[in-house]
Structure 1
Amino acid sequence: MYYHFSEEPGIRRFKPRPSAAFPHYPPVVFAIDEEHAAHYFFPRDCPRVIYWKADSTTEEDLNAFFSHTAAAKIIAVENGWLERIRSTKLYVYTFAEESFECFDGTAGYYISTSEVAPLNVEPVGDLLKKLLGRRVELTFTPSLHPIRDKVVASTVDFSIIRFRNARKQD
């Protein structure tokens, strides 16, 4: 199964549309796999930096990024988003896998160029509780810029979502 998260509760059909993040691609419907679903337990516009251990992660980066935690994945969010995370009502749409193809396996993105009807939709519930139920460390920070720069320059796998909404660097 693949998933799509939205603050809209009643979407009956997902129509392919252009992506601001991938403007060179034709219109598509995006979905996410189960392994990466926690990346989307946030309000749509919430900027976040997510990183996890990869097979190619060096010992130096393992120590730098994971020596302080038992979590397999770390999600960094700016402090200013806490109240919106607490108050957002989010819905998860479930799709059959047939019409989707892998777009980015590292980030768990799947795409369909066809219109897709969800099999099911249900509320996600308490987003913080949902995140804490995963093997994830959630960290809040005044600015995402330092962690983004460090992650991008490292050997960890990562996904950076809605960074255009991050606070401007001081």
Structure 2
Amino acid sequence: MLYHFSEEAGIKTFIPRPNRSFPHLKPAVWAIDQEHAPHYYFPRDCPRVIYWKSETSTAEDIDLFFKYSSADKIMIIENRWLERLRDTRLYVYGFDPKDFNLFEEAKTAGYYISHKEVKPVQVEVIDDLLGRLLEQPIELRFTPTLGLIRNAVIQSTLDFSIIRYSNATK
């Protein structure tokens, strides 16, 4: 199953749209795989930095970024998003994967795209995003600003996903 997260209820058909992050692509419907779905247990516009250990991560980076954590993945958001995280309701639309292809430009992020209209095969409502995140095998952190950790993660050997950074505190 592949997923699309939205704050909008009742979407019957997903229509391909242009993507700001990948303007060279023709319009697409975006979905995420099960492994990376927790990256979207946040309000849509919430900026976040997510990083995890991979086969290509150096021992030095693992020690630096995970020294005092038992988790293999760390998710960080800004403090100012806590109330929105508590108050947001998400609709998780499930899709049949046969309608999608892996987005090769970001293989490690779990993105899939379809260039045709797609209808969801199921919908789940998440009313408690914080609770759902705390059920995951991740460490959730809060910080006043994301800039320092973003820059460090980008320069590391870790796998990472930086989502909605344009909404971060500058």
Q: TM-score range by the shorter chain?
A: over 0.9
Percent identity between the two aligned chains: 58
Q: What is the CA deviation profile of residues 7-63 of structure 1, one whole-angstrom value per residue up to 9, with x for unaligned ones? A: 001100000000011111100000000000000000000000000001010010010
Match of 2:19? 19
1:127-166 equivalence runs, <5 A: 127-166=129-168
| TM-score normalised according to structure 1 size | 0.97
1:38-57 equivalence runs, <5 A: 38-57=38-57
CA distance in 2, matches of 1:29, 1:70: 35
Deviation at 1:67, TM superposition (A): 1.6
CA distance in 2, matches of 1:98, 1:124: 25
AA partner of residue 60 (structure 1):
E
1:12-161 equivalence runs, <5 A: 12-103=12-103, 104-161=106-163
Unaligned runs of 5+ in 2: none
Q: How many positions carry a matched residue from both structures?
A: 168
Match of 1:9? 9
Deviation at 1:105, TM superposition (A): 2.2
| TM-score normalised according to structure 2 size | 0.97
CA distance in 2, matches of 1:143, 1:101: 34
Deviation at 1:153, TM superposition (A): 0.4
CA distance in 2, matches of 1:134, 1:59: 24
Deviation at 1:99, TM superposition (A): 1.0
Deviation at 1:122, TM superposition (A): 1.6
Runs of 4+ in structure 1 off by over 4 angstroms are none
CA distance in 1, matches of 2:110, 2:127: 22
SS at match of 1:91: strand
CA distance in 1, matches of 2:159, 2:139: 15
